[in-house]
């Protein structure tokens, strides 16, 4: 493909292990899906192992056919979007089909991408006062209809790119708001902590995108912590798949259980941590552990997850204290420090963070939660033990 000079930073939503399983199918009923998975892997493979490359540029990659709107950088918080159509080709950015000065179009993928970029921008600006993903008004760009039956969506360092799916296992990738929020959150990470996409730091990178992808959907829908689905990629699977989403933050390992795709392999606790060289050291697998920790914090505090839990994670990501290769324990300590700094020692927020990391097996060194202290929060389960799902 042709594309951006930062294509090495591509981060895709569908884990390679899932596409590999599809590609190896020897079942004539799924011949089209198997071929689509093989082609998708071939598109992704050349750069998958190079995602941890150079630090990002703050240069905008505005489509050459877009006339400056004058709103992208002139006023903080003003959104500037551009949606292009690759028309089944693998050339980026494609033909511009909608900008801020143009009205809606009939193509549902264009409209979904447009709305998703808007919802993501709204969360980061309204809740966190972050002016686009770089905090400098970076125009948000997306390309739809990339490739033929492409089974993925990705952030390439400059833009969102969406495939249409194979129609047998995967629907079009613009259909899930959490996918759009997830991929743009990779951009936020790129312009802040720039976490290395390998091993535990890579799993944190993936988890942070799941966290904010979920928050984008919750904020757009006005859902409380209790009302939210906590699913990533809900709606991506066709009705031929026994599954609800790519991942579940509430219950990692339960998003799908299908005779073709197999069972969701994500662990929810360090006792199930997966040691592997595949998937950049298990970045899409082990992200279930910090995902579960965030859900537990949000569930313990109640209300809207973007208020306290989301603020703690955002403060952590933008603190400037995370090393690119931070591991799970280092990230857990950083979230505890962020909660302490914003809410104080002994606060429900600080206690909830410590309790959540303890519940997933990463509480060592974070202190202890006193159930006797007024306002303290306890979560069932101890270090290394499975944790019962809150109601």
CA distances from 99 to 4, 14, 16, 137, 335 (A): 20, 28, 33, 15, 38
Stated as kind and residue range, the H or E segment containing 11 is strand 11-12
What single-letter DSSP state applies at residue 56?
Answer: P
What is the CA 237 to chain-centroid distance, rounded?
17
Token digits of residue 340:
């302490």
Query: Is residue 300 classed as helix, strand or coil in its secondary structure?
Result: helix
How far apart, in whole angstroms, are the C-alpha atoms of residue 93 and residue 270? Answer: 41
DSSP string spanning 89-142? -SBSS-EEEEETTS---S-HHHHHHHHHHHHHHHIIIIIT---TTTTS-PPEEE
Check 112, 158, 183, 217 and give the catalytic one: 183
Check 206, 284, 349, 350 and give the catalytic one: 284
Token digits of residue 278:
């595949």
Quick check: is 284 catalytic? Answer: yes
Quickly count: other Cβ atoms within 10 Å of residue 88's Cβ.
13
- Residues annotated as catalytic are 183, 284
């Amino acid at each position: 493909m042709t594309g951006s000079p930062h294509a090495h930073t591509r981060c895709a939503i569908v884990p390679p292990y899932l596409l590999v399983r599809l590609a190896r199918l020897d079942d004539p009923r799924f011949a089209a899906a198997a071929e689509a998975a093989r082609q998708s892997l071939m598109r992704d493979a050349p750069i998958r192992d190079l995602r941890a490359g150079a630090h990002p540029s703050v240069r905008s990659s505005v489509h050459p056919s877009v006339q400056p709107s004058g709103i992208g950088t002139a006023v903080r918080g003003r959104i500037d979007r551009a949606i292009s159509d690759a028309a089944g080709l693998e050339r980026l950015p494609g033909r511009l089909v909608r900008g801020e000065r143009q009205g809606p179009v009939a193509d549902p993928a264009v409209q979904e991408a447009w709305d998703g970029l808007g919802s993501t921008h709204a969360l980061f600006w309204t809740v966190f006062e972050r002016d686009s993903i770089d905090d400098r008004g970076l125009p948000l760009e997306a390309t739809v209809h990339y490739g033929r039956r492409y089974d993925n969506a990705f952030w390439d360092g400059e833009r969102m790119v969406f495939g249409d799916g194979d129609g047998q296992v995967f629907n079009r990738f613009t259909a899930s708001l959490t996918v759009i929020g997830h991929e743009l959150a990779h951009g936020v990470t790129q312009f802040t902590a720039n976490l290395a996409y390998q091993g535990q730091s890579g799993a944190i990178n993936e988890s942070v995108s799941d966290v904010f992808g979920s928050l984008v959907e919750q904020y757009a829908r006005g859902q409380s912590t209790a009302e939210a689905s906590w699913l990533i990629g809900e709606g991506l699977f066709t009705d031929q798949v026994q599954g609800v989403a790519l991942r579940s933050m509430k219950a990692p390992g339960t998003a799908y259980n299908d005779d073709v795709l197999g069972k969701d392999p994500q662990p929810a606790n360090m006792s199930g941590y997966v040691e592997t060289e595949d998937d950049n050291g298990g970045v899409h697998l082990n992200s279930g552990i910090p995902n579960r920790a965030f859900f537990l914090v949000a569930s313990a505090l109640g209300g809207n997850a973007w208020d306290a839990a989301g603020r703690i994670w955002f403060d952590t990501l933008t603190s400037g204290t995370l090393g690119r290769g931070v591991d799970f324990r280092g990230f857990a300590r950083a979230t505890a420090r962020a909660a302490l700094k914003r809410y104080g020692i002994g606060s429900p927020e600080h206690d909830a963070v410590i309790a959540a990391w303890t519940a997933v097996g990463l509480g060592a060194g974070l202190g202890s939660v006193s159930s006797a202290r007024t306002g303290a929060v306890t979560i069932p389960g101890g270090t290394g033990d499975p944790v019962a799902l809150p109601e």
